[in-house]
Amino acid sequence: MARYKLTIEYDGTPYRGWQRQPDVPSVQEHLENALASFTQQRIETFVAGRTDAGVHARGQVVHCDLADTPDPFTVMQALNFYLREETICIVDTAQVEDSFNARTSATRREYLYHIINRRAPLALERDRAWHVIEPLDIEAMRAGAALLLGTHDFTSYRAAECQAKSPIRTLDRIDIAQENDRIYLHFAARSFLHHMVRNIVGTLRLVGGGKWQPKQVQEALEAHDRTAAGPTAAAHGLTLMHVSY
């Protein structure tokens, strides 16, 4: 038995998220079906971050155990062959120690949220960015984002159905960059709560649009109440970029 680390890229548009669910397509289902076709065995996979429906990934990480020990390149090529009809591909494969765990061994996760801020609708990127019509004040958004850095109780910024045992998280990075009508929000932390990034982005949109003052981002944080923060940003603007170990 050998353990493999798979780095995966996918367009999440056709899927109901990472996790296998009955009667709906998921990334996990298609990956495990590809593994079954390759090995002729039922293989269970374990993931660094369970992305929601419509969320994308450039650097998702999965581990699995194979009874035989094919070389990593063969594993990658075989899985990509069986995934050729899907918007999922394996971009790297490595054999790792049995102690490696895609979720618990991770030391940092990085997400990118993409907003296109213009009046005209989206044609090419309608499933890859959040379309926001009203002009956004980037400096105000940066001021609000800065108030969330560090270790806090993020109850106000997690989904009501979040199953994490603790709402305490340490947010290491929120960088906001603008290129013409494109706004990129870069997030980094060891781990995130369910919907945490999207709820922060939805709140920062209120700040950027002038509906909130930056200080209200901190006031919402200190309320420890999901209803105190802003709405949840669209799933399709979010991409899991990288997981560090």
Q: What is the pLDDT of residue 228?
A: 97
Q: CA-based angle 125:33:77, to the nearest 5?
A: 75
Q: What pLDDT, on the 0 to 100 scale, is given for residue 81?
A: 98
Q: How many angstroms separate the CA atoms of 211 and 69, rounded?
A: 57
Residue 69 has pLDDT above 90, yes or no: no
Percentage of the chain modeled with pLDDT above 70: 100
For the ranges 65-69, 87-91, 177-181, 225-229, which has the lowest average pLDDT?
65-69
Percent of the chain with pLDDT over 90: 96
d(Cα 215, Cα 145) in Å, to the nearest integer? 10
Joined tokens for residue 128? 């890859």
Question: 35-61: b or e for each residue (b if 16 or more CB lie within 10 Å)?
Answer: beebbeeebebbbbbebbbbbbbebbb
Give the pLDDT confidence of 164-216 residue by residue, as tens digits.
999 999 999 999 999 999 999 999 999 999 999 999 999 999 999 999 999 99
Determine the average pLDDT of the residues in 125-142.
97
**Per-residue pLDDT at 149 exceeds 90:** yes
Q: What is the 3-class SS of 212-230, one letter each residue?
A: CCCHHHHHHHHHCCHHHCC
Least-confidence region, from 117-121, 159-163, 229-233: 159-163
* For the chain, counts of helices (H) and of strands (E): 5, 10
Residue 13 pLDDT > 90, yes or no?
yes
The answer to whether residue 102 scores a pLDDT higher than 90 is yes
Q: What is the mean pLDDT of residues 47-54?
A: 96
d(CA 134, CA 205): 10
Q: Which domains does the chain have, with CATH numbers?
A: 2-96 (3.30.70.580), 108-244 (3.30.70.660)
Q: Give the pLDDT confidence score for residue 107 in this predicted structure.
A: 98
What pLDDT score was predicted for residue 74?
A: 96
Active site residues per annotation = 52
Average pLDDT estimate for 105-112: 98
Q: What is the predicted pLDDT for the residue at 206?
A: 98
